[in-house]
Structure 1
Amino acid sequence: MISPARSSARRIAALLAGILLLAPAATGCGHRTGSGPAEGEATVITALDYYTDQAEHAQWGDLLTACGRTVGVRVEQTSVPGASLIPKVLQQASSRTLPDLLMLDNPDLQQIARTGALTPLGSYGIDAEGFASGIASAGTYQGKLYGLAPNVSTVALIYNKDMLDEAGLDAPRTWDELKTAAAALTRPGRYGMAVDANATFEGAWQFLPFLWSNGGDEGQLDTPQAAQALQLWADLVNSGSMSKSVLNWTQADLHDQFVAGRTAMMINGPWRVPALELDPDLHWGVAPVPVPRLGQTPVTPLGGEVWTVPQNPSKARQEKAARVLACLNSPASMLTLAQEHHTVPSRSSVAAQHAGENPSTAAFAGSVAAARSRTERLGVEWPRAATGIYTAIQSALTGEQTPEEAFKHAQQTATGR
């Protein structure tokens, strides 16, 4: 998902200088509130995340170190596997041993904030001014901001330029254009289109742009809008323009199919850009996810991790952790992360700057402006809806049920009626 780590004293020094220069522009950066203990009483804080990949761990470690220096603390970073993070956090919350700075995947913030384990960022003078509304929503629980994401991601349509050029096609903008293009690009050994339709939250994530852009609602799945979106996927499979194997493919599998020339188009995210760039003979482009009707703006799901400040007996450490969090969300930090991870800066003005300098991320940046958090509508009930969505996808694409029947059953299962 990320480029190799480039850890060096020179890079850290340059990053630190940039953060010091730009930090005043970051909302909440450098603010002190209340009458807490003196700054010198907290010299070390702890941070917990799930960046276990060696390169990713090092990149975040560099940034945490640099931000720690700006506020006069040493940050001790611990990384655990993604599947272990929430169980560990819940255990630490019950034993009151939470870290000073905690990273959470944005759909998990609601669950942890509900336990009372997190502190509102407004207590430290930090707000979400300048962030897209969906990003602010991802860090909010019951009207209070508990987390901020320095960078985010979403999905778009990635296509093979040579294949589309050979067929005389432009990147499809609407559902009808998508079906036409997928059919024209399909030939023996190659499908025109690919999505991740597997029976996991990843499959539900990939379907959301089609559901939401058609006016569908994850809280009420048995609607014509939801059925129409799923019918699009079913039509692509039934016509032979999309492989039935999408029922088992992950987003990594989509990438492999694309680079091998076995699919001309796919839905995927900016984390695939580094690997796509490794092949100089692969000519690819990125366009927004096609929408039902021309002129509409796609509504895509928001990915990314938020940083939070847990409850802690030491107010001095809480305040230092909050200042490190604000530094992580400064323009300089956002640009560093976006360049290393090929993601989108969370501040709208910084995202526009980055997109102008990196055309391969422009479509993702444009979609982030209208992107939605998965928990925005349902909060902690989102996982139940996601399960209903991917179960319905499986039923419809295997032909076991029509899209209408599949979503009617999903709604009945989710509500118990």
Structure 2
Amino acid sequence: MVSALGMTAVLGGCGAGADSDEVTLRLVAADYGDSEANSSQKYWDGLVEQYEKKHPNVTVDVSVYSWNDVDRKVKEMVAAGDAPDMAQIGAYADYAADDLLYSADELLSISTQADFAAQFASAGEVDGTQYGMPFAASTRLLFYNKTLFAEAGLSAPKTWDQLAADAAALKADGVKYPYALPLGSEEAQAETMQWLLSGGGGYTENLGTSYGIDSAENVATLTWLKDDLVGKGLTGPVAPGKLNRADAFAAFANGQVGMLNGHPTLMQMAAKKGVKFGMVPMPGVDGQTKVSMGVADWMTAFKQNGHAEQVGDFLDFVYDEKNVLAFSREYDLLPVTASASDVMSTAARDKDLRPFLEELPLSELYPVGRTSWATVSAAVKKRIGGAVVSGGSPTAVLAGLQSTALRAESGE
């Protein structure tokens, strides 16, 4: 994501005084654009203009920040006692645990709540109450360079062994990154989770009730990555722990990558550079993975300033079908509502997103409802690359991450 545009926040008090019916709502949002032309500030400005025409007593001030900054910015505002009315960010559980957020029930109409895709509504819950309102979603597919595959006489892999064999053939042809494995600090938790799921494991077990990071399945997955991909020189010249997702995507768009896990944004990047690509479900041990990784970003509403009625009315507008569709189409993201998903699943203009939409119902999300997840995610980003290097120990790294998770769970 790029640096935000229009970053001025209105930091004064909300509203126009006790004798006025006029209300000013502040929204802090993340930027999904990659240039000034498609900054999220432009999206929100247009949406707010429509809303304010019909609600002359409500002003909505939107401040957009890059993904590198937005969560930190909101945290600083909350710590300073100056919480925004709404924040569209990456996590919500810590704020919910501190009783700082309105629940969805306190804000949204029944029809808006019912329209959320079931797995996202559930993922937004803490102790059975929904505080995180899903805002945007994506899933992952395996992207492969059709030109490089054709030159090597390859077909898209369905199993790990086929993926490794394809990578070896691409390496023999001089491809720089046969399989790009970004386990660097930017988004290692995503690449890791996709691989863990493809090996029959994941971050949690027992239907998500507890962490299972050091499970036998996860150890086997990372051991395979270490021995059969990284150890055989099939992941390129940059150590996985030093390779970030953005750099891996850029390399794919430049024709230097044979395969990598990607989300919908990569389609546009590759197409702009003329790269012909295919997309298939992530290979697994014995066949294509049945469960994909899903990611959702969240809308939250803070109680500090009140205004539940006005916030709820504005969010009902935000989640109107046409607005969800407009946002999803602008940024190649998947809608979080059933009504918009139904439209995109059949509309000709959305056919490129259809493979990702098909993966969505079976996707598994990060355990974002746990207040410990932020700590665990940061630890994964920092340590997971060390599990696959020469001399690294998947067993030791995963055991250390499990210990970190359990300490975070207990509040230590």
Q: Residue 197 of structure 2: SS of its match in structure 1?
A: helix
Count of aligned pairs between the two proteins: 373
Q: Are the aligned partners of 1:352 and 1:365 in contact in 2 as well (CA < 8 Å)?
A: no
Partner of 2:180: 194
- Assess if the C-alpha contact under 8 Å between 1:112 and 1:118 holds in 2: yes
Check whether the contact 1:201–1:387 (CA below 8 A) recurs between aligned residues.
no
Q: Which amino acid aligns with 2:198?
A: S
Partner of 2:312: 322
Structure-2 separation of matches of 1:292 and 1:252? 27
Equivalent residue letter for 2:135: P
Q: Where does residue 373 of structure 1 map in the other structure? A: 365
Report if the CA contact (8 A) 2:255-2:275 is conserved. no
Q: How does 1:251-400 map to 2 (within 5 A)?
A: 251-279=245-273, 281-294=274-287, 296-303=289-296, 305-314=297-306, 317-356=307-346, 357=348, 358-376=350-368, 379-400=370-391
Q: Give, in whole Å, the separation in 1 of the partners of 2:248 and 2:27.
A: 34
Looking at structure 2, the residues matched to 406 and 313 of structure 1 have their Cα atoms a distance apart, in angstroms, of 44
Q: Tell me what 1:56 maps to.
A: 40
Rounded to whole Å, the distance in 1 between the matches of 2:89 and 2:290 is 28
Matches within 5 A, 1:41-190: 41-51=21-31, 54=36, 55-72=39-56, 73-93=58-78, 96-105=81-90, 108-124=91-107, 125-126=109-110, 128-186=113-171, 187-190=173-176
Q: Decide whether the 8 Å contact of 1:150 with 1:333 is kept in 2.
A: no
Distance 1:158 1:50 in 2: 26
Structure 2 gaps of 5+ residues are 6-19, 204-210, 408-412
Report if the CA contact (8 A) 2:141-2:279 is conserved.
yes
Whether the 8 Å CA contact 1:47–1:76 is kept in 2: the answer is yes
Matched residue type, 1:121: A
The question of 1:205 aligning with 2:190 is answered yes
Aligned AA for 1:294?
A: G
CA deviations on 1:55-100 (whole Å, 9 max, x unpaired) are 2211222123324445553321123454544454345445553222
CA contact (8 A) 1:148 1:308 kept: yes
Equivalent AA in structure 2 for residue 404 of structure 1: T
Decide whether aligned partners of structure 1 residues 85 and 411 sit closer, same or farther in structure 2, where only a CA change above 3 A counts: same
What is the DSSP-based 3-state SS (H/G/I as helix, E as strand, rest coil) of the residue aligned with 1:149? strand
- After TM superposition, give the deviation of residue 285 of structure 1 in Å: 2.0
Aligned position for 2:17: none
Q: Using the alignment, how far apart are the partners of 1:387 and 1:44 within structure 2?
A: 35
Contact 1:308 / 1:325 at 8 angstroms: preserved in 2? no
Q: TM-score, normalised by structure 1?
A: 0.80
Using the TM superposition, give the Cα deviation of residue 176 of structure 1 relative to its aligned residue in structure 2, in angstroms: 2.3
* d(CA) in 1 for partners of 2:357, 2:293: 11
User: Could you list the per-position Cα deviations for residues 104-150 of structure 1 after superposition, in whole angstroms to 9, with x for gaps in the alignment?
Assistant: 21xx2001112222111102334642433332234222211123233
1:404 aligned residue (384, 392, 395): 395
Q: Work out the CA distance in 2 between the residues paired with 1:90 and 1:189.
A: 43
Give the distance between the partners of 1:352 and 1:292, measured in 2 at CA. Answer: 32
Higher RCO (CA < 8 A, seq sep 6+): 1
Three-state SS of the structure 2 residue aligned to 1:192 is: strand
Deviations 1:38-69 (A, max 9, x none): xx924532212233964221122212332444
Give the Cα separation in 2 of the matches to 1:361 and 1:398: 35
Counterparts of 1:409 and 1:95 in 2: how far apart (Å)?
34
Distance 1:252 1:65 in 2: 33
1:49–1:80 contact (8 Å) kept in structure 2: yes
State the 1:194 CA deviation.
0.8
SS of the residue corresponding to residue 256 of structure 1 reads helix
**Matched-pair contact (CA < 8 Å) for 1:388–1:411:** no
- Asked whether the 8 Å contact 1:384–1:414 carries over to 2, the reply is yes
Which segment is superposed worse, 218-227 or 46-55? 46-55
1:34 counterpart residue number: none
Mapped partners of 1:171, 1:395: distance in 2: 29
Kindly tell me: are residues 75 and 228 of structure 1, through their superposed partners in 2, closer, same or farther at Cα, counting changes over 3 Å? same
Which residue of structure 1 aligns with residue 16 of structure 2? none
Task: Indicate how the Cα distance of structure 1 residues 232 and 162 shifts in structure 2: closer, same or farther if over 3 A, else same.
Answer: same
Q: Secondary structure at the match of 2:283?
A: coil
**Within 2, Cα distance between the matches of 1:49 and 1:373?**
21
- In structure 1, distance between residues paired with 2:359 and 2:311: 31
Report SS of the residue matched to 1:153: strand
Write out per-residue CA displacement over residues 331-384 of structure 1, whole angstroms, 9 at most, x where no aligned residue.
1111101111011111245224324432322222222222233125x6011133
Contact preservation (8 Å) 2:193, 2:293: yes
Per-residue deviation, 1:178: 1.6
Letter in 2 for 1:328: V
The answer (yes or no) to whether the contact 2:28–2:74 under 8 Å persists in 1 is no
- What secondary structure sits across from 2:293 in the alignment? coil
**Cα gap change, 1:229 to 1:392, in 2 (>3 Å):** farther
Which residue is 2:235 aligned to?
242
